[in-house]
Amino acid sequence: MKLQPGQRVLVPFGPQKLTGLVTELNVTPPAGIRLKPIASALEDWPALPPETLRLLHWAADYYQHPLGECLFTALPPALRRGRPAEEKQQTWWQITDRPADLIPANAHRQQALYQWLHEQPRGATTRDIIGAGFSRAQLNSLHQRGLVQHSQSAVPQAATATDQNACQRRPELSPAQQEATSGLPLPGDGFRACLLYGITGSGKTELYLHYLKEHLREDQQALVLVPEINLTPQTVARFRHYFGDRIAVWHSALNDSERLLTWLRVRRGEPVILIGTRSAVLLPFTSLGTLIVDEEHDSSYKQGEGFRYSGRDLAVYRAHLNNCPVILGSATPSLESYNNALTGKYDLVRLEQRAGKSRPPEIRLLDIRSRPLEGGLARPTLQAIEQTVAQGRQVLVFVNRRGFAPVMMCFDCGHMVDCPRCDTRLTYHRR
């Protein structure tokens, strides 16, 4: 049996067989230790390619975590359980060219289903349709009328004209964005880390889109990390507008089949642009051209349970292993990234102008130490709230404290009561 590091195998463990991963070959066991032979190989190719395997070995050593847990974290749940690394066939439905007026006027749910499918240019699975609130009976009625057709496939149907047109679109940049783009390292330049220090509203996402559109080759992969799952849909929509079916996603809300499908696309070396949360950095990329870490300062890049790691830091090391650039974008960079930029470890590109016609907010500071407060708010604050509400607009008030008041203060002299053991001001509670 010819094996390779990173390959999945079945190993005997008591009365059962478990999934294992090959880490080394031709290793001599310690004296007196008898090893059982591997039962079989699950595939004839490594699930974890060399760069991914080196990344996980480094992470296990750096974060002082068991290697086995690190390796299995990089596999989708289906492969951890020994499921074959193959795509599951699904039934995909798309509308036909027949006119919608074939649906009876009183069949409102069929009309709604037809309209919903019309808004899915790449088709939808039976599971998607049921999940959207429609029934199999409604779907079968449309099928009998020749309004929808189905096929068996593991992936969505071929790109429609809308998706193909995405290849022709180009994001428009302001002069400041164009200048910033010229300072970013290119995919062919090898490993370089760059901090993109762009103020809020400066259009960093448009800059990412332009960068990938202009510089990423057709046969290269790219990884765009976003900090939270709720950022993924809006980011995906913007990227799909320009890249169509080349976009893939990875986050914890995907089911096991969806994760396996995305994992296989990445492992096969398909030229995907993958948008995902922190665990996406562990995927088995084989032709990675560039990495982008959006909002690199965000604390959600840090895994707090099990295999604890920083997705941002692993992205930088992964770029080093794959010999490609990594771009860290933020309006409020982390201290470590900013220090690395100031000391020359990272390139520093600034984007200090807002995109379009947006303007920075007007900020006014109030010294409330000498002002009487009403319900914790000064009179100028209350007036601003009243004026805004009178104009039919909304007001957002942040309250960052516990207790009735954040301090106990004398209005005559401005003295605030401090803790006798430290410099922290005491919070006033009514009870």
Mean pLDDT, rounded, of the chain: 88
Mark whether 204 and 112 lie in a shared domain. Answer: no
Residue 291 lies in a domain: yes
Please give the torsion angle defined by the CA atoms of residues 317, 321, 324 and 327, in that order, rounded to the nearest 10 degrees.
-10
Given a cut of 80, is residue 169 above it in pLDDT? no
Residue 381 lies in a domain: no
Write the single-letter amino acid at 65. Answer: H
Residue 140 lies in a domain: yes
Total residue length of the chain: 431
Mark whether 146 and 234 lie in a shared domain. Answer: no
Those residues with Cβ within 8 angstroms of residue 10's Cβ, 6 or more apart along the chain or in another chain: 17, 18, 19, 20, 38, 39, 40, 41, 42, 82
Mark whether 27 and 45 lie in a shared domain. Answer: yes
Share of the chain above pLDDT 90, in %: 57
Distance (Å, whole) CA 194 – CA 183: 9
Tens digit of pLDDT for each residue in 377-417? 899 999 999 999 999 999 999 876 677 887 888 888 888 89
Decide which of 153, 178, 208 is a domain's last residue: 153
Tens digit of pLDDT for each residue in 66-83? 999 999 999 999 999 988
Tens digit of pLDDT for each residue in 237-253? 889 889 988 999 998 88
Distance (Å, whole) CA 21 – CA 45: 12
pLDDT band at 159 (very low <50, low <70, confident <90, very high): very low
pTM of the model: 0.74
Decide which of 123, 153, 183 is a domain's last residue: 153
Decide which of 327, 351, 375 is a domain's last residue: 351
Least confident residue range of 134-138, 316-320, 407-411? 407-411
Mark whether 175 and 324 lie in a shared domain. Answer: yes
Mark whether 213 and 188 lie in a shared domain. Answer: yes
CATH code at 68? Answer: 3.40.1440.60
Tens digit of pLDDT for each residue in 358-367? 777 788 898 8
What's the total number of domains in the chain?
A: 3
Question: What's the average model confidence in pLDDT over 196-217?
Answer: 92
Q: What are phi and psi of 166, to 5 degrees?
A: -60, -30
Tens digit of pLDDT for each residue in 211-223? 999 999 999 999 9
87, burial (CB in 10 Å: exposed 0-12, middle 13-18, buried 19+)? middle
Mark whether 54 and 105 lie in a shared domain. Answer: no
Show the domain range for 24. Answer: 8-80
336, burial (CB in 10 Å: exposed 0-12, middle 13-18, buried 19+)? middle
Question: What's the average model confidence in pLDDT over 146-174?
Answer: 66
Question: What's the average model confidence in pLDDT over 109-132?
Answer: 85
Mark whether 27 and 105 lie in a shared domain. Answer: no
Mark whether 126 and 251 lie in a shared domain. Answer: no
Mark whether 211 and 244 lie in a shared domain. Answer: yes
Give the per-residue pLDDT at 162.
42
Distance (Å, whole) CA 417 – CA 427: 9
Residue 416 lies in a domain: no
Residue 301 lies in a domain: yes
For residues 400 and 126, the model is more confident at 126
Mark whether 212 and 284 lie in a shared domain. Answer: yes
